[in-house]
Chain A
Amino acid sequence: EAGVTQSPTHLIKTRGQQATLRCSPISGHTSVYWYQQALGLGLQFLLWYDEGEERNRGNFPPRFSGRQFPNYSSELNVNALELEDSALYLCASRPGESGYTFGSGTRLTVV
């Protein structure tokens, strides 16, 4: 069974640009969770999508947004990039009560 896949692995953007990060959950899982792991700030909950709808949102500005497609894959969009958006962005899906399974992440660097 394939795990959670994220692309790209690395992304370098200029301040003010937009970044798009992608995630495919484990086959059959309808929920996708996004987390940001920034240096010095730890792992922060960003967004939760389930069945195509945004179900919960962490304490992030509106320029962090996303969507979930009919095949349950998801995109995270970060608009008007700022230097402090540089972080590892992790996506997870949840196979029932087995805990959350994370992907390997996308390293976003804003220069």
Chain B
Amino acid sequence: AQSVTQPDIHITVSEGASLELRCNYSYGATPYLFWYVQSPGQGLQLLLKYFSGDTLVQGIKGFEAEFKRSQSSFNLRKPSVHWSDAAEYFCAVGLLTGGGNKLTFGTGTQLKVEL
């Protein structure tokens, strides 16, 4: 069964510092990979996605992620964090056809930004 691991439950960074959120997945084939962000009491907003091709993916709000097949990882990065980036971040894997069409989510990483 597919699974997603986000090893960091909480991360605190200073505003302006760089950020890397880790995501590892376990799946028999190369899945489709997503990062979502959730502000308190809100739904999920898609930051970026990887389907195929270039392994470095650019997303919204200055985020990027790199797919590393050999490490089964899809880490999210941002070179300079803003206070408004404080939120919970979820990595997810899925298949767009087959596989029951469901997304499997990691447990999330809560990001705190210190001013």
A residues in contact (CB < 8 Å) with B: 4, 6, 31, 33, 35, 42-43, 45, 48, 50, 55-56, 58, 90, 92, 94, 97-105, 107
Nearest-CB distance from B41 to chain A (Å)?
A: 8
Task: Report the count of interface residues on B (CB-CB < 8 A).
Answer: 23
Taking CB atoms, residues of chain A closer than 8 Å to B105 are 42-43
B residues in contact (CB < 8 Å) with A: 34, 36, 41-46, 49, 51, 90, 92, 94, 96, 100-108
Q: A42-B107, A43-B105, A97-B51 are in contact. Are A102 and B43 (CB under 8 A)?
A: yes
CB within 8 A of B46: which of A45, A97, A101?
A101
CB within 8 A of A48: which of B41, B43, B44, B102?
B102
Contact B108 A103 (CB under 8 A): no
Taking CB atoms, residues of chain A closer than 8 Å to B96 are 94, 97
Q: Which residue of A lies closest to B42 (CB)?
A: A104
Taking CB atoms, residues of chain A closer than 8 Å to B41 are 107
CB within 8 A of B100: which of A42, A48, A105?
A48
Selected A-B contacts with CB under 8 Å, 16 pairs? A42-B105, A42-B107, A43-B92, A43-B103, A43-B105, A45-B104, A48-B100, A48-B101, A55-B100, A56-B102, A90-B43, A92-B44, A94-B101, A100-B34, A100-B94, A102-B36
Nearest-CB distance from A11 to chain B (Å)?
A: 14
Task: Report which residue of A92, A100, A102, A103 has the largest number of chain B beta carbons within 10 angstroms of its beta carbon.
Answer: A100
Contact B102 A45 (CB under 8 A): yes
CB within 8 A of B102: which of A33, A90, A97?
A33
Contact B103 A100 (CB under 8 A): yes
Q: Which residue of B lies closest to A3 (CB)?
A: B43
Contact A42 B44 (CB under 8 A): no
In the bound complex, CA of A99 to CA of B105 (Å): 14
Taking CB atoms, residues of chain A closer than 8 Å to B103 are 33, 35, 43, 45, 100
Nearest-CB distance from B31 to chain A (Å)?
A: 13
In the bound complex, CA of A27 to CA of B107 (Å): 30
